[in-house]
Homo-oligomer: A and B are copies of this chain.
Amino acid sequence: MPLKIALAQINPTVGDIDANVRKIIAFSCQAKHQLGADLVLFPELSVTGYPAEDLLLRQDFVIQARQATVGLASRVPHDLDVVVGFPELDEAGNLYNAAVVLRHGQVLVCYRKRALPNYGVFDEQRYFSPGGQTCIFDLQGVRIGLAICEDVWKPDTVADNKTDGAELLLVLNASPFHAGKIHQREAVVASQGRTLALALVYVNQVGGQDELVFDGASFAVNHHGEVVYRAEEFQEELGVVEYAGGQLQKSHCAPCYRAISSEYKALVLGIRDYVKKNGFQGVLLGLSGGVDSALVLALAADALGNERVTAVLMPSRYTLEMSIEDAISEANALGVKYCVIPIEPAVAAFSAMLEPVFAGADRDVTEENIQARCRGTVLMALSNKQGSLLLTTGNKSEMSVGYATLYGDMAGGLAPIKDVPKLLVYKLARYRNGVFPVIPERVLTRAPSAELAPDQRDEDTLPPYEQLDPILELYVEQDRSAAEIIAAGFKAEQVLKAVRLVDSSEYKRRQSPPGIKITSKAHGRDRRYPITSGYQGDKLGHALDADTKQSTAAE
C-alpha cells in the first residue's frame, strides 16, 4: 500500500487560535475522508499563524496555543497522522518553534526547530530557543523526519535526518513571498533531495499578514531532486502525494508560476486578507488619474469586488482635465463608484488662516503639502464616517526618496504598492490591462506628475525612473554604497541625490502605513534604519549639503 501524504496549504489568522484549530480540523477530515490520506502536513506554527510577533511573549497566549494543540489530538480523525506547528513552552520557561505528530488521539512526537532565522523580516531569536536534535518517527514502516522552514536551508540539518535514518522529510513552512523566492525555494530543496537521495514534502502557509504575504506554492521533490507535486500559489489548497516502493510518485504539478502574475496575485491577496482579517467592509482611495492610483484601484477591485471599493476624485486648480477624465474612465471600466470633492475651499481656508504668519515668505513645498493634506483629511473623514479602510497609493520609488507628503498622500491604513518600484508599477498596470483593459493607455505613457504646482513633473525633482529605480535597488535592497553604484556605471550626481534623499526621509517612512512586501528588501520591519544618523556613506555624500530632516524638497 502506498503511503498517502496530504499537503494542507492553509491560510490561518495570526492570533485567532480557535479559528485556526477549526480550519486544521476541517482540512484533516477532508484529507482523511476525501483523499484517503495517512498523514496530513500543515504549515509552521499553524495553530497561531505566523508571525505572531510579541504575542509570543505573553504567557496566556502560549498556554492557550499549547492547550489547543494538545486538544486537537482528540478532535481530528484518529487513524490519520496530523502534523501541526505550535509554540512550545517547556517547564524551564524556554519557548520553541515546534511541531507535533498527532496520532490515535495523542501526541506521538514533538520536534523543535533548530535553525532560527534572525535577519530580514525574521526575529525568531527574540522568541525561541533552538532545538538540538532530529525527530524521526515511523508510519507504516516508512522512516519520516521533521524540519521547520529555515532548517531545510541548512545542509547539515537536513543531512542529520538522513544519517538518523529518515527516507522522507516533512517540512513545515511559513516562508513569505518576494519576487524570485518561489524558484529559489524549489531549487534549494531539490538540491538537498538530490544530494542526499532524500524525498521532501514542503508545505507553506498562504495568506496576508500585515507587511507579509505567504504564497503557499507548496511542493514535493523526490530522491532525484525532481519536483513531483506543485500546489497553486496564493490560495488555500489540499493536495496529496503518494510514497510507494521507496519513491515519491509523480502527482499533480501546477505550471511554473510567472513572475509578473505572482507579484500581482501577491498584492491582491495582501489587500484582501488585510481587509478581511481586520474586519473592514470595504476600502476607499484617492484616484488622481496617475498610474499609481489606477493600479491600486484595479488591485482593490480584483481583491474585494468592485462594489466594496470607492474612488474619490479631489481636483485642485493644478489638476489637468485629462487627469479627471482618465480617473473617471478607470472607475467606470471597473464598475467602481466614485465621488468628486474639489479641495479648493479647504486650501483657500488654510491660505487665509496662515497668511498673517506667512506674510512675505516665498511660496515653496509648504503650499504643495497643504493641498496633499487637504486630500488626506477628506479621505480620512470618509474612512471614519463609513468605516472603510483608506488605501494609500504611493509606490516604492517615492517612499524611498521621500517624494510624498506625510499626513497627505501618505495617509491611510494600508499602502498596497509601497514595495513596488515605479517601473514595476507600469509593468503591473500593463499586465492587468492584458487580462482586460481598465487603465487608459494615456495614463501609461504621459510623464508622471504630482499635480501640486503648475506644469509639475516628477523629473523636475527626481532622476528619471529609468535611472532612479536601478539605483534604489542597489542602495536599498542590496546595501551597496554610493561609490559602488557609481562604479557600476550610474551618474554620480543622480546617485548622490538619490542616496541623500533615501537617508534623509527615514522619518517619513517610519510613519507610513504598512505595505506589502514583494521585493527582497522592503521598507518596514525588513529594513531597519535609524532616523538620527550622521553616516555620510563613503564621503562622496559630502559633495552635497545635507538638508534638515523636515524640509526635504519632496515634503
Interface residues of A (CB under 8 A from B): 13-19, 49, 51-55, 57-61, 64, 118-119, 123, 125-126, 208-210, 273-274, 277-281, 339, 341-343, 345-346, 348-350, 352-354, 356-358, 361, 364-366, 369-370, 373-374, 376-378, 380-385, 387-390, 406-407, 411, 413, 479, 481, 483-484, 507, 510-514, 525, 527-538, 546, 548-551, 555
Contact of A389 among B365, B513, B536, B550 (CB under 8 A): B550
Contact of A16 among B16, B208, B369, B534 (CB under 8 A): B534
Most buried by B among A280, A369, A532, A533: A532
Task: Give A516 to B348 CA distance when docked, in angstroms.
Answer: 37
Inter-subunit contact A350/B373 (CB<8 Å): no
A selection of 6 A-B contacts at a CB cut-off of 8 Å is A18-B536, A123-B528, A209-B530, A279-B548, A345-B349, A364-B385
Inter-subunit contact B549/A413 (CB<8 Å): yes
Task: Give A341 to B555 CA distance when docked, in angstroms.
Answer: 22
User: Closest B-chain residue to A510, C-beta based?
Assistant: B514
9 closest Cβ contacts across the A-B interface? A16-B534, A15-B535, A60-B481, A15-B533, A407-B407, A349-B349, A366-B384, A345-B349, A13-B534
- By a CB distance below 8 angstroms, the chain B residues around A118 are 118, 123, 125-126
Task: Give A370 to B378 CA distance when docked, in angstroms.
Answer: 8
Chain B nearest CB, measured from A360 CB (Å): 11
With A55-B533, A374-B377 given, name 6 new contacts (CB 8 A): A16-B533, A346-B353, A361-B385, A384-B555, A387-B548, A407-B411
Given A357-B382, A532-B13: A280 and B548 interface contact (C-beta under 8 Å): yes
Contact of A378 among B125, B348, B350, B383 (CB under 8 A): B350
Contact of A377 among B364, B377, B528 (CB under 8 A): B377
User: Closest B-chain residue to A376, C-beta based?
Assistant: B407
- By a CB distance below 8 angstroms, the chain B residues around A382 are 354, 357
- By a CB distance below 8 angstroms, the chain B residues around A53 are 528-530
Chain B nearest CB, measured from A91 CB (Å): 19
Inter-subunit contact B55/A535 (CB<8 Å): yes
Inter-subunit contact B377/A407 (CB<8 Å): yes
- By a CB distance below 8 angstroms, the chain B residues around A59 are 479, 481
Task: Give A548 to B57 CA distance when docked, in angstroms.
Answer: 25
Contact of A15 among B374, B378, B514, B530 (CB under 8 A): B530
Task: Give A132 to B364 CA distance when docked, in angstroms.
Answer: 57
Chain B nearest CB, measured from A517 CB (Å): 14
Chain B nearest CB, measured from A114 CB (Å): 15
- By a CB distance below 8 angstroms, the chain B residues around A54 are 479, 527-529
User: Closest B-chain residue to A312, C-beta based?
Assistant: B357
Task: Give A84 to B535 CA distance when docked, in angstroms.
Answer: 19
Contact of A532 among B277, B281, B383, B385 (CB under 8 A): B277
Given A210-B531, A533-B15: A550 and B387 interface contact (C-beta under 8 Å): yes
Contact of A14 among B278, B348, B390, B533 (CB under 8 A): B533
User: Closest B-chain residue to A310, C-beta based?
Assistant: B357
Inter-subunit contact B361/A352 (CB<8 Å): no
- By a CB distance below 8 angstroms, the chain B residues around A484 are 60
- By a CB distance below 8 angstroms, the chain B residues around A346 are 346, 349-350, 353
User: Closest B-chain residue to A384, C-beta based?
Assistant: B366
Inter-subunit contact B364/A370 (CB<8 Å): no
Inter-subunit contact B354/A341 (CB<8 Å): yes
Chain B nearest CB, measured from A494 CB (Å): 19
Task: Give A354 to B340 CA distance when docked, in angstroms.
Answer: 10
Given A384-B555, A535-B61: A378 and B407 interface contact (C-beta under 8 Å): no
- By a CB distance below 8 angstroms, the chain B residues around A383 are 550
- By a CB distance below 8 angstroms, the chain B residues around A60 are 481, 483-484, 537-538
Chain B nearest CB, measured from A246 CB (Å): 39
